[in-house]
Amino acid sequence: MKKAYILFTLLLSCVTLGAQDPDSRDKSRYAVNNFDEDDHYTMYQPYETVSVEEPKGRKVKNVILMIGDGMGLEQLSAAWICNGRSLNIIDNFPSTGIQWTYSANRLVTDSAAAGTALATGSKTKNGKIAMSPDDEVLETLSEYAKSKGKKTGTSVVCRICDATPAVFSTHAAHRDSLYNITAQFVDSGLDFLFGGGLKWWENRPDGRDLTAEVESKGYTFVKDIDALEAVESTPVIALTAYKELPPALDRGDVHQASVRKALELLDCKEGFFLMVEGSCIDDYGHANKVGFVMEEIFDFDRTVGTVLEWAAEDGETLVVVTADHATGGMTLLAGSVKDQKVSVNFSNTGHNGVAIPVFAWGPHSEDFVGTYENAELSERIKKLIK
């Protein structure tokens, strides 16, 4: 039914609009911060989502936490409509919850405080990276998993010193100490790290050669996805961009490729903890560009599909998908279910204080049903890392 619907839509698109494919779409219309052109989006080529059964077993060997930065329910609803009423995130997850995002000092959180709550189980003030309001170091899920003998990994499409990857592996009183945060990845103990941020890795004001430092610790260090594909063992660090990776339309399938590699390399008898972030949904929410927001969600959702297919084979992997907060005050105002288009309004260029959905799949997914604090979500995950 769904396939037939998509095929019909494709044919209709070809007839009415000329053969549309992602490469022929006019990207320039997203290239200016112009509200009139950035408040509507039509999906011409929906992608097929995966369909996987939750495993019957109860053992949790691996945990994969996937965070869509700035991906609130309005963003997800718009993306679901545009993709022909289908998203991996929405359609495959049997257990759903709601988490509250406010920080220790603000109703509206930033990514540092929300990420810290998700990573450590403690709310903190906006701007803190895995540190308490009084600047005490908080143990992260990655660090905890490592202490339990598991492998750990992070895969993002932003710079690695951005708040969300930072809160899982580093500690800082201020999120903007980017050279300091970047250097802490040298000693993070991560077995797999993928993202951007060479600007803060190379040519450092302190003169440190972080590449030489990690190589002396046994890491393979690479700067492009092809080189990462060839790597056969951990630990590995791949930084493929000066700052953030290119926007989703230009990025291709590198995030799916990175995560596929992470799963291959981290899979071991002891299990692993992997954090995956759809990092730039937030950036384009800030910029009030719905087209970019949709494309970033589709890219993240395809990565969720990659993870689910692997996890279904594995049978002992818990997958939790959520966000840190919503961005842009985005409201789904109008559109068409049949034509797969949406019109939205952005009411601000910052974050919002709205509660955020949680989607869980795999053994113990039912532990994530209910309404709870973002920090409590972290505690529930921690209980399952053994």
Residues with catalytic annotation? 111
CA-to-CA dists, residue 95 to 78, 90, 151, 369, angstroms: 21, 10, 26, 6
For Zn ion, which is the closer residue by CB, 74 or 191?
Answer: 74
Residues in 109-148 at the binding interface with Zn ion, rule: CB under 5 A: 111
- The nearest distance, CB 70 to Zn ion, in angstroms, is 5
Stretch that binds Zn ion, among 33-41, 74-82, 257-265, 318-326 (CB under 5 A): 318-326
- The nearest distance, CB 282 to Zn ion, in angstroms, is 5
What CA–CA distance (Å, rounded) separates 48 from 77?
Answer: 17
Determine which residue in the list 38, 162, 299, 324 makes contact with Zn ion, applying CB under 5 A: 324
- The nearest distance, CB 292 to Zn ion, in angstroms, is 15
Determine which residue in the list 38, 39, 54, 69 makes contact with Zn ion, applying CB under 5 A: 69
CB within 8 Å of 1: residues ≥ 6 apart: none
**Is residue 75 involved in binding Zn ion (CB under 5 A)?**
no
Tokens representing 90 are 């929405």
Q: What is the largest CA-CA distance in the chain?
A: 62
- The nearest distance, CB 284 to Zn ion, in angstroms, is 12
Stretch that binds Zn ion, among 76-84, 206-214, 215-223, 322-330 (CB under 5 A): 322-330
Phi, psi (deg, nearest 5) at residue 40: -140, 155
Residues in 259-288 at the binding interface with Zn ion, rule: CB under 5 A: 282
Sign of CA dihedral 236, 241, 247, 253: negative
Size of the site for Zn ion (CB under 5 A): 4
CB-count exposure of residue 345 (10 Å: 0-12, 13-18, 19+): middle
Stretch that binds Zn ion, among 2-10, 68-76, 117-125, 338-346 (CB under 5 A): 68-76
Cα dihedral 195, 97, 61, 274, rounded to 10, equals: 10
- The nearest distance, CB 203 to Zn ion, in angstroms, is 27
For Zn ion, which is the closer residue by CB, 176 or 264?
Answer: 176
Phi, psi (deg, nearest 5) at residue 145: -60, -40
Nearest residue to Zn ion by CB is 111
DSSP H/E element including 70: none
Residues that bind Zn ion (CB under 5 A): 69, 111, 282, 324
